[in-house]
């Protein structure tokens, strides 16, 4: 691979620039953040240089570049001058593709929103560095939206608590010394990395101190505009295609903040990665692949399916835009409401149910509303059927981003009256079906390496004992515990796992619940009475669906949907004795109802 180091002058500053790859190829410029040097990009740059000319430089005050005489001369307009000088110095006659991380991304936003470099940037990939205008707009809208938005802003404020520390005189210098003591491991060269003149950690203490100017010159007050642009810049609008790479484990930027470009950016692509802030170091293959797909498409190549998904995810107001969501038991009830809610949020959905007609009706409803839905008949109790289903979904549409294991049945009556075949069937559907959904689709998500989320529908019966629901309660308790264990297992891959525990919900399952050990007439009467009671409760499946989407957004371990579900969970933890006493009261009431029904049918 061709590689050369050179010096580029920007007024009083000399910038250290490294160029990889052949000069006739499209130019990709990599800009690092604080307190990094361009070495942060080494692994990504090596991979990109196979197809592009890759330019990486130490920003002013970092690495081998010189520092300004004025410690506050780190304003964005000065940094734009540096970027312009680099483009000129390497002979970037055609528009270049910009990739920025952290403060490098903040610079990138200034380049594509302002007028100074208009026409010189072909595309921009932003990693963990929101634009200041987008950030302010997001905060205003979030606060106005209500309690949830206020909580998001406060959550981001906690993540950003280091900023005023770095801006404060003397305190910032002390913080920089602490930072430089713990940061070398992030900058440690990977095995087999290209040789450099001087290890990046050698300048870290100076870089951390110099870089305080980034915060002090640009934060806390309205900064000068580049090139005199007005309303356009105030809103943060740009026509330059932008790819947002959002590390979902970033400790410094929340997802709502990092997604704040939705709206002002007309051509936005969003990709999430299960990684932390320095994702370019931890996932260089993935970052290089995504940048390559994006740059080649912007330069006239075809849009890869994954990139089309990313484009849909960039649409404002569509939290699951372009995502592929699989829901089992989606022909009716909670599953139907859930798959429709995901479709309304922009997702492509797979509607799976043992009742093929019900699945098709649900899919047709979604399609009529303008969504994309695909119906499948699958019996989750069949191991071979689930294997074929998972393979077919992957081969036809790709790896799902979200899977909701919802298919289930209910069975009531004493354990003494529960036949082997009924026990085997409820276990096969309620437990084995969810196990297969977790294992098969979870494997696909792990192999893809881009995260995902799995939701298992449990029940308050998982922790509220009932003599009338021993089989159902046992299966739902198994689902809850399996979900808790699976969540711990999948966390290492950046895949979320949630259990959702509804209470009494008005769904068709109630009317299909069979009471074992009773004559058919008594069984039917009890079903009707239970159905009327649940209908009076008036808690629709759409509320459960909203809880499912919220659990995915917030990566909630266990979501308790109804008041009775929350009360039962609290009692099971605080006073198991009280929980059992409540179950005994329910048993006596149930016995009276059963006795009255049996008398009616004698």
The structure tokens listed for 407 are 């298919």
Q: Is the Cβ–Cβ distance between 247 and 279 less than 8 Å?
A: yes
pLDDT in tens, 4-37: 999 999 999 999 999 999 999 999 999 999 999 9
| CB of 480 closer than 8 Å to CB of 499 | yes
Q: What is the 3-state secondary structure (H, E, C) of 157-197?
A: HHHCCHHHHHHCCCHHHHHHHHHHHHCHHHHCCCCCCCCCC
Q: Are residues 559 and 500 in contact, defined by beta-carbon separation less than 8 angstroms?
A: yes
Global confidence as pTM: 0.80
Asked if 377 and 390 count as a contact pair (C-beta separation under 8 A), the reply is no
For residue 386, give both structure tokens. Answer: 């689930």
Domains of the chain: 3-313 (3.40.50.1820), 324-600 (3.40.50.720)
Q: Indicate the pLDDT class of residue 230, thresholds 50, 70 and 90.
A: very low
- pLDDT of residue 361 exceeding 60, the answer is yes
Of the ranges 216-230, 245-259, 547-561, which one carries the lowest mean pLDDT score?
216-230
Do β-strands 13-20 and 53-57 pair in parallel, antiparallel, or remain unpaired? antiparallel
Strand partners, 163: none
Question: With 60 as the cut, is the pLDDT of residue 228 above it?
Answer: no
Confidence label for 322 from pLDDT (cuts 50, 70 and 90)? confident
How, if at all, do strands 514-515 and 558-560 pair?
Answer: unpaired
Decide: helix, strand or coil at residue 330.
Answer: coil
> Would you say residue 214 has pLDDT above 90?
yes
Rounded distance, CA 393 to CA 397, Å?
A: 6
| pLDDT digits 0-9 by tens, 53-95 | 999 999 999 999 999 999 999 999 999 999 999 999 999 999 9
- Alpha-carbon 248 to chain mean position: 6
Whether the bond between 35 and the residue before it is cis, its omega within 30 degrees of 0, is yes
Number of CB atoms found within 10 A of residue 91's CB: 11
Task: Report DSSP state, residue 456.
Answer: E
Nearest-5° Cα angle at 267, 115 to 451: 125
Q: Which helix (H) or strand (E) holds 553?
A: helix 541-554
Q: How far is CA 14 from CA 61, 89, 103, 217, in A?
A: 10, 11, 19, 20
Task: Determine contact, residues 348/372, Cβ cutoff 8 Å.
Answer: yes
pLDDT of 506: 59
**Which of the following is catalytic: 74, 376, 472, 493?**
472
What pLDDT, on a 0 to 100 scale, did the predictor assign at position 412? 84
pLDDT bin (cut points 50, 70, 90) of residue 592 is low
pLDDT the model gives residue 305:
86
**194-206 mean pLDDT:** 65
Residue-level pLDDT at 231: 45
How far apart are the C-alpha atoms of 491 and 557, rounded to whole Å? Answer: 11
Burial class (CB in 10 A: 0-12, 13-18, 19+), 598: middle
Q: Is 472 a catalytic residue?
A: yes
- In this prediction, residue 186 has a pLDDT band, given cuts at 50, 70 and 90, of low
Q: Summarize pLDDT for 501-534 with one digit per residue, the tens.
A: 997 775 565 556 676 655 565 445 445 555 555 5
- Res. 597 pLDDT band, cuts 50 70 90: very low
pLDDT band at 108 (very low <50, low <70, confident <90, very high): very high
In this model, does residue 373 exceed pLDDT 90? yes
pLDDT, mean of residues 115-138: 95
pLDDT(449) > 90: no
Dihedral in degrees, nearest 10, Cα atoms 535, 536, 541, 547: -160
- pLDDT (0 to 100) of residue 118: 92
Mean pLDDT computed over 132-158? 93
Torsion of CA 108, 112, 113, 115, to 10 degrees: 120
- The pLDDT value given to residue 22: 93
pLDDT exceeds cutoff 80 at 124:
yes
Q: Who wins on pLDDT, 189 or 249?
A: 249
Q: Which residue has the higher pLDDT, 521 or 423?
A: 423
The rounded distance, in Å, linking the Cα atoms of 592 and 364 is 44
* Predicted pLDDT of residue 515: 66
Q: What was the pLDDT predicted at 386?
A: 97
Lowest mean pLDDT among 13-17, 20-24, 287-291, 408-412: 408-412
CB atoms closer than 10 angstroms to residue 82: 22
The confidence score (pLDDT) of residue 209 equals 94
Residue 589, C-beta contacts closer than 8 angstroms, at least 6 positions apart: none
Question: Which of left, alpha, beta for 133 (phi over 0: left; psi -120 to 50: alpha)?
Answer: alpha
Directed axis angle between helix 284-298 and helix 305-313, to 10°? 90
Instruction: Decide: 128 and 252 in contact? Cβ < 8 Å.
Output: yes
Q: How far apart are CA 321 and CA 301, in angstroms?
A: 23
Q: Are 54 and 20 in contact, with CB atoms under 8 Å apart?
A: yes
Task: Indicate the burial class of 367 (C-beta count within 10 angstroms; 0-12, 13-18, 19 or more).
Answer: middle
Please state, for a pLDDT cut of 70, what percent of the chain lies above it: 85
Interatomic CA distance for residues 548 and 285, integer angstroms: 32
Question: Parallel, antiparallel, or unpaired for β 13-20 and 3-10?
Answer: antiparallel
Which of 207, 217, 216, 266 is closest to 242 using CA atoms? 266
**247, two tokens:** 């590390």
pLDDT tier at 221 (50, 70, 90 boundaries)?
A: low
- In this predicted structure, the answer to whether residue 369 has a pLDDT above a threshold of 90 is yes
Position 227 scores a pLDDT of: 41
């Amino acid at each position: 691979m061709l590689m050369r180091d050179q010096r580029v002058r920007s007024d009083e500053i000399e910038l250290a620039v490294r160029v990889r790859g052949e000069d006739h190829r499209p130019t990709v410029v990599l800009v690092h953040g604080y307190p990094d040097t361009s070495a942060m990009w080494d692994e990504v740059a090596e991979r990109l240089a196979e197809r592009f000319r890759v330019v990486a430089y130490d920003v002013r005050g970092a690495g081998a570049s010189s520092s300004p005489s004025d410690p506050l001369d780190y304003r964005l307009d000065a940094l734009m001058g540096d970027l312009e000088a680099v483009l000129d110095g390497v002979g970037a006659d055609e528009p270049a593709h910009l990739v920025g991380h952290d403060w490098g991304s903040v610079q990138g936003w200034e380049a594509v929103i302002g007028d100074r470099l208009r026409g010189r940037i072909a595309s921009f990939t932003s990693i963990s560095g929101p634009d200041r205008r987008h950030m302010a707009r997001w905060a205003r809208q979030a606060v106005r939206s209500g309690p949830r938005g206020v909580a998001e802003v406060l959550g981001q404020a906690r993540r950003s608590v280091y900023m005023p520390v770095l801006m404060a005189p003397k305190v910032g210098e002390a913080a920089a010394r602490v930072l430089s003591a713990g940061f070398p491991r992030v900058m440690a060269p990977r095995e087999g990395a290209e040789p450099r003149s001087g290890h990046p950690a050698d300048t870290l203490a100076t870089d951390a101190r110099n870089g305080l100017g980034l915060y002090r010159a640009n934060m806390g007050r309205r900064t000068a505009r580049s090139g005199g642009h007005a309303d356009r810049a105030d809103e943060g609008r740009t026509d330059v295609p932008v790819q947002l790479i959002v590390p979902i484990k970033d400790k410094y930027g929340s997802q709502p903040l990092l997604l704040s470009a939705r709206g002002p950016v007309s051509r936005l692509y969003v990709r999430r990665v299960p990684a932390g802030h320095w994702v370019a170091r931890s996932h260089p293959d993935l970052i290089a692949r995504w940048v390559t797909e994006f740059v080649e498409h912007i330069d006239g190549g075809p849009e890869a399916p994954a990139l089309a998904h990313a484009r849909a995810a960039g649409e404002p107001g569509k939290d699951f835009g372009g995502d592929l969501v699989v829901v089992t038991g989606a022909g009716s009830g909670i599953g139907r409401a859930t798959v429709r809610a995901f479709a309304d949020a922009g997702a492509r959905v797979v509607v799976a149910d043992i009742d093929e007609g019900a699945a098709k009706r649900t899919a047709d409803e979604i399609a009529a509303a303008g969504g994309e839905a695909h119906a499948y008949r699958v019996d989750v109790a069949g191991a071979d059927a689930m294997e074929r289903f998972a393979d077919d979904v992957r081969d036809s549409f790709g790896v799902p981003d979200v899977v909701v294991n919802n298919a289930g049945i209910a069975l009531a009556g004493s354990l003494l009256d529960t036949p082997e075949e009924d026990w085997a069937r409820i276990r096969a559907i309620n437990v084995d079906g969810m196990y297969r959904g977790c294992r098969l689709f979870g494997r696909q998500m792990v192999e893809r390496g881009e995260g995902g989320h799995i939701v298992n529908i449990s029940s308050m019966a998982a922790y509220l004992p009932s003599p009338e629901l021993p089989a159902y309660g046992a299966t739902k308790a198994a689902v809850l515990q399996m979900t808790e264990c699976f969540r711990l297992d999948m966390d290492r891959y950046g895949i979320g796992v949630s259990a959702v525990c509804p209470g009494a919900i008005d769904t068709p399952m109630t009317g299909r619940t069979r009471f074992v050990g009773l004559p058919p007439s008594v069984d039917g009467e009890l079903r009707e009475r239970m159905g009327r009671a649940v209908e009076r409760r008036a808690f629709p499946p759409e509320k459960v669906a909203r809880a499912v989407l919220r659990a995915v957004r917030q990566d909630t371990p266990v979501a308790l949907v109804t008041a009775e579900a929350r009360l039962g969970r609290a009692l099971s933890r605080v006073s198991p004795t009280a929980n059992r006493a409540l179950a005994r009261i329910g048993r006596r009431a149930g016995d009276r109802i059963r006795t009255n029904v049996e008398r009616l049918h004698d």
